[in-house]
Amino acid sequence: MPMEQREDVVIVGAGVIGLASALALLESGRSVRVIDAGRVGGGSSHGNCGTITPSHAPPLAAPGVVLRALRWMLTPDAPLYVAPRFDPALWSWLLRFAVRCNDRDWRSSARAKSAILNDSRDRLADWVRDYDLACEFAHSGEDYVFRDPHEFEHFQDEVGFLRELGVRVDIVDGRTYEMMEPALKPGVAGAIRFDGDAVLRPDRYVGELARVVRARGGTIVEHCAFTGVREDGGGVRVSTAQGDIPAREMVMALGAWSPKLADAIGAPALKGAIQPGKGYSITYSTPSRVPRRPLVLRERQVCVTAWDSGFRLGSTMEFSGYDDTLNPRRLAALERGAAEYLHEPYGAQKQEQWFGWRPMSCDDVPIIGRVPGNDRVIVATGHGMMGVSMSAATGQLVADLVAGRRPDLDPAPYAIERFS
């Protein structure tokens, strides 16, 4: 296939971050080619619960999380599970993660996440309108539901800080919430409601991004694996399984695969900064009684989303490297958790069982910026569970960095240099 035409930007990775970056770059007047070793949206973009969540600014690296994870190591279906094994890279990452599990770093990471989540929430709604993205987007809000009064009371300690971050938060007692949400079984201790959150169907969103990228002149090449990049005069030469592509700049948006190709772009810091965090979901036909808004069933850490086209249970966090098995025990935990809360926890037909690796940075903040010593390569990775939620803001930040203009979003908290 002829590839000698010099693109302005080659993007490695056709997931939600790569395609959002492609769209923003095209809108700023750049020519773009997106390549992927697999297919469009074949990674963690596909099967998550599709919630757009400024409410999720607090990072996973929180006080007490390490002790909880250690207690759960012998519970393979726990919401947060570290598979016991000899893996020096994982244990090095966990040590860096553990160091961040204090109140000061927790707040710092939350502020960085909040900035990009809030920017992306507004920008994504504009994209849906302006590009007519058919992805079942809705200004739905989202609710955290608690059955344990102690857990409900404990979470309220975060409410003041969330409000400082601009998150709209309401606290509702259990009896009132049961009347508001008839899909739930009796026994609700209370709920935290986030009216600023939204929802979409993520696989359709990614598909629509790909459609718009192509319609605006971008090229997407599937089954074209990236193997390396080198300087080439006034630009770079991107090596792939289908030959070399000359370009002025390259963006690496490889998600959980970033550590494996860190040396290929001269960014060894990525190897210690990111681990794959395995998430699961099950998609069903729609039950007759579904929640009115997306829910997080807090004690079980199960996310529940209903669209016109289906019903999904998802979440869990498993650190088991690049294990590619679909663990039936963890899938069953999603169903058991939903059954504790919902009158109809799943639909009659099971349409898909899925897992995907999320790119978890050790501070739970994305990594976006130019590679030190390799200024023509930009990384956009480490979005953890928030790739869809952060996609539009990340795309715009990448486009601003390429254009050399002052971004609306301060890029400093996301720079790779923080891991050097």
With cut-offs at 50, 70 and 90, classify the pLDDT of residue 4: low
Task: Delimit the domains of the chain by residue range.
Answer: 7-45+204-273+364-419, 56-101+138-197+274-361
Is the distance from CB of 82 to CB of 67 less than 8 angstroms? no
Q: What is the mean pLDDT of residues 143-159?
A: 97
pLDDT of residue 44: 85
Distance of CA 408 to the CA centre of its chain: 21
Question: Considering the chain, what percentage of its residues have pLDDT values greater than 90?
Answer: 89
With cut-offs at 50, 70 and 90, classify the pLDDT of residue 371: very high
User: At residue 71, does pLDDT exceed 90?
Assistant: no
User: At residue 345, does pLDDT exceed 80?
Assistant: yes
Q: What is the mean pLDDT of residues 103-113?
A: 97
Q: Show contacts of 120-125: CB within 8 Å, 24+ apart.
A: 120/52, 120/389, 120/390, 120/391, 120/392, 120/393, 120/394, 121/52, 121/54, 121/196, 121/197, 121/198, 121/389, 123/392, 123/393, 123/396, 124/52, 124/198, 124/391, 124/392, 125/198
Distance CA 9, CA 118 (A): 27
Over residues 372-401, the pLDDT tens digits come to 999 999 999 999 999 999 999 999 999 999
CATH code assigned to 56-101+138-197+274-361: 3.30.9.10
With cut-offs at 50, 70 and 90, classify the pLDDT of residue 43: confident
Is the distance from CB of 357 to CB of 256 less than 8 angstroms? yes
User: At residue 355, does pLDDT exceed 90?
Assistant: yes
- The pTM (predicted TM-score) of the whole model is 0.96
The mean of the pLDDT values for the chain is: 95
- One of 2.60.40.2470, 3.50.50.60, 3.30.160.250, 3.40.1010.20 is the CATH number of 7-45+204-273+364-419, namely 3.50.50.60
Q: Where are the beta strands (DSSP E) in 4-154?
A: 7-12, 32-35, 51-52, 80-82, 142-146
Whether 56-101+138-197+274-361 and 7-45+204-273+364-419 are alike in CATH topology: the answer is no
User: At residue 264, does pLDDT exceed 80?
Assistant: yes
pLDDT of residue 2: 46
Q: Which residue has the higher pLDDT, 45 or 226?
A: 226
